[in-house]
Amino acid sequence: MKISNIISKIFSLLSIFLMLSVIAISFFRPFMPWDSWAYHFPFSAQLFQINDYFQSFSLDQILQDRYEGFPRIAEFLQGVLWLLTGSISSMALINSIPLVFFIYCATRYGHANFPILVFGILAIPLIAVHALSTYIDLFMSVALSFQFLAAVILHKLFENKSPEKKRFNKWLIIYTLAAAVSGNTKMWAPIISSAISIILFASIAKKSKNISSFNILLRIHVTLIISVILCCGSLIKNTITYKNPVYPISISVPILNLSLNGPETEYKNYPGYADSYGVLSRPIYFLLSITEWDWSIRGVEPLYTLETGPGDRPKRYSPARTGGWWGLTILISIFLTSGMWLIATFTKFGHGRISTFPLKLFCLLTLLTSFMPQSHELRYFLYWPILLIFNLAYLTKYLYSNRLISVLITSLYISMFLYSLFILRGETLKSLLTYKTQSELIGVPQTAEEIVAAKKLGGICLGSSYNPNQFKYSSVLQGGIYFIEQGWIQCVKYPEFKK
């Protein structure tokens, strides 16, 4: 056996260990930051009436409006995990398990290089930390990545002219489910999900003359139509109910002379120095954010955190959350992927051996993503580095299977992963491996004066000074019989508690 093959097997075993570690750490030491306590956990509890939610806690009206209008598939699944395990710690599994499952499917069915996919994805600091968190940004991005993978496989099966019926139908179902989940997790996700469907439709339309089976064409066309409708489910519901697809967000579309009213203003937070370029400022900010050159321009502290908060404290220009993917990894990945695409497209070595549809689809999605609102705030677009690494791992597997260069590329990404874990400043390895019980994660003892007062009076309101932690004091988590009102903006039902 060649040394390169032995090293490849060692790399595969290390990759398996790393994936299992991500799942274990996400359960035993999850990150539970701001948004989780503010509304993700209360949404899950409200959906399932966990621990008598309605008799224990109420959201402030502005966040209750979010409950009514925001997509809630992720919170639904988090609620299921909470009910099954009896622990809020399990709610981080919504990120780690789907990510690991995607890597497995992309390796087995998408023919990607396994170790490069694992270490490449987890070398992205923002992905690594979100995989251990109870936020839902990565969950949505993994769903979009599954839709991308299904599109690639369907396209390849379609090119075979006579695809195996059972396998073809399986991936049609996976494609539809992925579109439905992604589109009903985040308000803007239907844009990317629908784009994947449109691009896939356009690509197979060019090849449809070579397909003799009308049934195959009909099935894939119907699947794409259903997928677009399902991914827009929350938008359709809001349009019917509130006459605003993105309720509760109030937005205006000047080009259409259209205003959509809602109780919450649209979130806008741009770096500022390229605003004079109008709509072109978005791809500029996106490029400078993924490379982290923006940090140098604005004087942002190079600190890797879940919400990229250091961007709110720049030395120059406007506050905006940028970076977090580690620009060096992104640039190296783009360089390697581009080089392999050139080999696959223009040389005899690669000609006819590999489909370039995955990379073409990725490039079109990149263009669309760069023009999205807040495209520089990278936690919302974690599918992009996942798909970048997938393309690299896919090209490597086909062009350099069991070759020395494959081992060298894997070694490079293992080195970058270790550097990001131990050297880059941010969440530390020590904090990740420090086990905490559920009560320690909540951080509020049952003897807290707020809980004592609530039990005595029957209920209290915890005002904005407690944001986002009001839910930690509720009997949903603490037990007992009393009521906590979340006074995010103001108190309405109960008097505000004052220390």
Instruction: Report if residue 476 sits inside a domain.
Output: yes
Q: Is 334 within 8 Å of 290 (Cβ atoms)?
A: no
Instruction: Report if residue 394 sits inside a domain.
Output: no
Q: Is 182 within 8 Å of 232 (Cβ atoms)?
A: no
Domain coverage including residue 479: 438-486
Q: What's the CA gap between 192 and 381, in Å, rounded?
A: 10
HSE, CB side, 13 Å, CA atoms: give it for residue 487. 19
Q: Is 393 within 8 Å of 116 (Cβ atoms)?
A: yes
pTM: 0.95
Q: Which is nearest to 220 in space by CA: 176, 160, 166, 164?
A: 176
Instruction: Report if residue 469 sits inside a domain.
Output: yes
- Going by the DSSP 8-state scheme, the letter that residue 31 receives in this structure is B
Instruction: Report if residue 402 sits inside a domain.
Output: no
| H/E segment holding residue 252 | strand 249-253
Q: Is 238 within 8 Å of 245 (Cβ atoms)?
A: yes
Tokens 């109870």, residue located: 134
- Size of the chain, expressed as the number of residues it contains: 499
| H/E segment holding residue 113 | none
Residue 251, strand partner residues? 260
Burial 188-202 (b: 16+ CB within 10 A, else e): bbbbbbbbbbebbbe
Instruction: Report if residue 479 sits inside a domain.
Output: yes
Q: What's the CA gap between 466 and 445, in Å, rounded?
A: 15
- Going by the DSSP 8-state scheme, the letter that residue 36 receives in this structure is I
Q: For the chain, 499 residues long, give each residue's pLDDT as a single digit of tens.
A: 578 788 889 999 999 999 999 999 999 888 898 999 999 999 999 999 999 999 999 999 999 999 999 999 999 999 999 999 999 989 999 999 999 999 999 999 999 999 999 999 999 999 999 999 999 999 999 999 999 999 999 999 887 766 778 898 999 999 999 999 999 999 999 999 999 999 999 998 877 766 656 678 888 899 999 999 999 999 999 999 999 999 999 988 777 777 888 999 988 899 999 999 998 999 999 999 999 999 999 999 999 999 998 999 999 999 999 999 999 999 999 999 999 888 877 766 554 567 889 999 999 999 999 999 999 999 999 999 999 999 999 999 887 766 788 899 999 999 999 999 888 888 755 556 665 667 778 889 999 999 999 999 999 999 999 999 999 999 999 999 999 999 999 999 999 998 7
Instruction: Report if residue 444 sits inside a domain.
Output: yes
Tokens 């469907």, residue located: 197
Instruction: Report if residue 453 sits inside a domain.
Output: yes
Q: Where are the beta strands (DSSP E) in 383-428?
A: none
Residue 249, strand partner residues? 264
3-state secondary structure of 244: coil
Backbone angles phi, psi at 486, to 5 degrees: -85, 110
Number of folded domains that form the chain: 1
What are the tokens at 358? 């995955």
Q: What's the CA gap between 390 and 178, in Å, rounded?
A: 17
| H/E segment holding residue 488 | none
Q: Which is nearest to 445 in space by CA: 473, 482, 464, 465?
A: 473
Q: What is the pLDDT of residue 434?
A: 63
What are the tokens at 62? 């502005």
In sequence order, which residues have a C-beta less than 8 Å from that of residue 254 and are 6 or more positions away?
Answer: none
What are the tokens at 167? 């396998």
Q: What's the CA gap between 132 and 324, in Å, rounded?
A: 15
Q: What's the CA gap between 404 and 438, in Å, rounded?
A: 47
Q: What's the CA gap between 120 and 172, in Å, rounded?
A: 28
Instruction: Report if residue 460 sits inside a domain.
Output: yes
Tokens 């209920």, residue located: 459
Q: What's the CA gap between 435 and 432, in Å, rounded?
A: 8
The angle subtended at Cα 466 by Cα 460 and Cα 468, nearest 5°, is 115
